Structure 1
Amino acid sequence: MKRITTVLLLGTAAVALAQGTAFLTIGSGSTTGVYFPVATGMAKMINDAGGGVRANARSTGGSVFNVNALATGELDAAIAQNDIVYYAYKGTGLQAFQGKANSKLRTMAVLYPEVLHVVARKDAGINSMADLKGKRVVIGDLGSGTEQTAKQVLEAYGLNEGDLGQALRVSPAQGISLMQDKRADALFYTVGVGASAISQIAQTVDVKLVPVSGNQASALIKKYPFYVRHNIPANSYKGIGATVPSVAVQATLVTTTNVPDDTVYKAMKAIFSNEAELKALNPSLASFSYEKAVKGLPAPLHPGALKFFKEKGINVK
């Protein structure tokens, strides 16, 4: 029986190899964020297309982990903040990338704006960024894009980790628990508007969103041009009845030159040919367009993606 099983397994592998099936592991983020459902949906679209590429999505620690895993080959593609991809490509910005530029990183498409949410418990007495001083603040998982964003925004307001009562480096899911249990006063999370983690907090705790605006936001954008101003619409979350100004980076689908051109091209066709189906994966993708998908690239387009966008009539090089 063992011998038959082995032959069958070898036969399956041989058939897959003969058919030229390629396999993509796509890195995402926390299961409570937007990366995970988007990556999972994209993997399903690739598998449903039956174009000779099979894919699966993995929950990960987020952007920094993802680009490092792309470098080691642990992941074949991933969703990551465009600022983090840029730092990794250039070998700058973060200690994890300093002097270790990953010139093999390539962009597949810019997906949607990731908006900084600074969520505070209403009973914590936090009405502005300055009020975070001395408070217990979740600044994102260690090595996440949110952690880096939190540091840069605090800097723009003349604050640093040392000014906080406690800088809590935990996952979004852990951050929710800390907020619910009154063990955290505020939480930073860079994520698409409508993320389940923020919705869950708002459903269970009286919260407010702290604005990121004014001269401080201008200074942030001047120093870090990958940021853009972005408003969180009123009623995006329970209890948030007014529009809240903030800043955003961009969620980007990335890969490396190690993935063959044809594999990326087939994956692009499966994911992006039907814009309506893509946008149905998550509300964050509502503003996606081919034109926006090639703007603000943190690394060059992969040749397979370049071929796809040219076929769609987009002016890319």
Structure 2
Amino acid sequence: MKLMFTKIALAISLLIIVSACGGESTTGGKQYVNIGTAGTGGAYYPIGIAMAEVLSQELDLNSSAEVTGGAADNVELVQAGEVELAISQSPVVYAGYNGNDPYEVEHKNISTLFNGLSKGVFHVVVSENSNISSMSDLKGKRVVLGPAGGGAINVVADILSVYDVSIDDLNATYVSYSEGVSMLNDNTADAVIIQSAAPASAITELAASSNNFRILAIEEDKLNSILSQFTYLNHIELPSEMYGTESGISTVYLTNMVIVSNSLDEEIVYNITKNLFDNLDKVKDSHPSAQGLTLESAADNVPIPLHPGAERYFKEKGILD
């Protein structure tokens, strides 16, 4: 499946300028370093805003967070030079770099800036009075899967396969998580699958206005199958107080990370990395899911090579040999 680029109207004029002048503005000579995130209902967007603010305030850069189709789309956008940094997911980045499904070609214009940003947690939200009690019940149902081009789609397919359900078995809709939650409230969707750092803002907004929803837990036998078949996933227990549910929710997560365009030179990327970690608290405070980000783990288990500028910084800090 060839992924489609997501173009947000608000960013079009900015991206044209970036393409036309090689990343520099026509006035003032400042370089644009724009950050691909996802829809506004997840964690990527507020984290991206905080990162852009750090870069704009601490460096002589014009930086902004751009709404995109999400993790899979962001690999395409960085590859094409439409954004310079982006938040994505480790397995998605690995697939893009190597040209594995859903990508048709290798994406070698991307590198790792840092790993361990946050955990992308798998949520399945249904109405309180729904007859859906397990993911096996999603066959034939109206299911929101998030923005088209999001990395969540491939993860959904992997997890549903354990339940003998495929994407083709769903009456799928591709809209933002916030829109999906509204559709659930309006009874125009039966379920919303949200892959986001927890707590997901779309769900916390729903919980603030209504308690008429449930989040499906993954049954223990299915969990064991998922973890054995898909080693990029890990188990997590969401506490009941996170969303006001009756009990904790057993589910899975993957690691989120930040990628960077190879078109940015080593010095710029070194300074970007340095200033983000010099202002780590601001990034961590942007969303609860980013609280686990540490300098010590930022270069661990990277799925593709580090950018030379990031590698230089981590070596300087003693994180790498």
Global fold match (TM > 0.5): yes
Using structure 2 for the length normalisation, give the TM-score.
Answer: 0.86
Within the candidate set 44, 51, 54, 2:53 is matched to 44
Q: Equivalent pairs: percent with the same residue?
A: 29
1:216 aligns with 2:222: yes
SS in 1 for 2:243: coil
User: 1:219: how far off?
Assistant: 2.8
Amino acid at match of 1:45: V
Question: In the alignment, is the contact (CA less than 8 A) between 1:226 and 1:296 conserved in 2?
Answer: no
- CA apart distance, 1:243: 1.5
Taking the TM superposition and a 5 Å limit, the aligned residue runs for 1:28-177 are: 28-49=37-58, 51-94=59-102, 97-98=103-104, 100-110=105-115, 111-164=117-170, 166-177=171-182
- 2:240 maps to which residue? 234
The correspondence of residues 268-287 of structure 1 with structure 2, limited to 5 A, is: 268-287=273-292
Aligned amino acid, residue 301 of structure 2: G
Give me the whole-angstrom Cα distance separating, in 1, the residues matched to 2:34 and 2:26.
Answer: 20
**Amino acid of the residue matched to residue 294 of structure 1?**
A
Aligned-pair distance for 1:76? 0.7
Match of 2:209 in 1: 204
Change (3 A) 1:223 1:103: farther
2:299 is aligned to 294
> How far apart, in 2, do the equivalents of 1:89 and 1:14 lie?
32
| Conserved 8 A contact 1:38-1:282 | yes
Give 1:283 shift: 0.7
Counterpart Cα distance in 2 of 1:162 and 1:154: 11
Q: Secondary structure at 2:111's aligned position in 1?
A: strand
* Gaps in structure 1 of 5+ consecutive residues: 1-11
- Structure 1 residues 105 and 14: alpha-carbon distance in aligned structure 2, compared to 1, 3 A threshold: closer
Mapped partners of 2:120, 2:225: distance in 1? 19
Q: In 2, distance between residues paired with 1:236 and 1:13?
A: 43
1:296 CA displacement: 3.0
C-alpha displacement at 1:15, in angstroms? 7.8
Residues 27, 75 of structure 1: 8 Å contact kept: yes
Change (3 A) 1:307 1:130: same
- Given that 1:22 and 1:263 are in contact with CA atoms closer than 8 Å, whether structure 2 keeps it comes out as no
Question: Contact 2:125–2:214 at 8 Å: present in 1 too?
Answer: yes
Which residue matches 1:7?
none
Distance across 2 between alignment mates of 1:53 and 1:38: 18
For residues 25 and 197 of structure 2, the distance between their equivalents in structure 1, rounded to whole angstroms, comes to 39
Contact 1:53 1:267 in 2 (8 A): no
Q: Secondary structure at the match of 2:253?
A: strand
- Please tell me whether Structure 1 or Structure 2 has the larger radius of gyration of its CA atoms: 1
- Separation in 1, partners of 2:298, 2:41: 24
Measured in 2, the distance between the counterparts of 1:162 and 1:64 equals 19
Displacement of 1:222 in angstroms is 3.1
Hey, what's the Cα distance between the residues in 1 that align with 2:280 and 2:54? 12
Tell me which residue corresponds to 2:231.
Answer: 225
SS of the aligned residue for 1:255 comes to strand
In the aligned structure 2, how far is the partner of 1:259 from the partner of 1:219? 41
- How far apart, in 1, do the equivalents of 2:266 and 2:219 lie? 42
If the length of structure 1 is used for normalisation, what is the TM-score? 0.87
Quote the Cα distance in structure 2 between the aligned partners of 1:278 and 1:174. 26
Going from structure 1 to structure 2, the CA distance change for 1:274 and 1:122 (only over 3 Å counts) comes to same
Please tell me the root mean square deviation across aligned C-alpha atoms, in Å: 1.9
Question: What is the CA distance between 1:91 and its match in structure 2?
Answer: 0.4
Q: Which runs of 5+ in 2 are unaligned?
A: 1-23
Deviation of the 1:88 alpha carbon: 0.3
| Secondary structure of the structure 1 residue equivalent to 2:304 | coil
Question: Structure 1 CA distance, aligned partners of 2:300 and 2:248?
Answer: 26
Deviations 1:210-238 (A, max 9, x none): 11242323333333322111222221113
Q: Deviations over 1:219-275 (max 9, x none)?
A: 33333322111222221113x132211111111110121111111111111211233
1:282 deviation in Å? 1.2
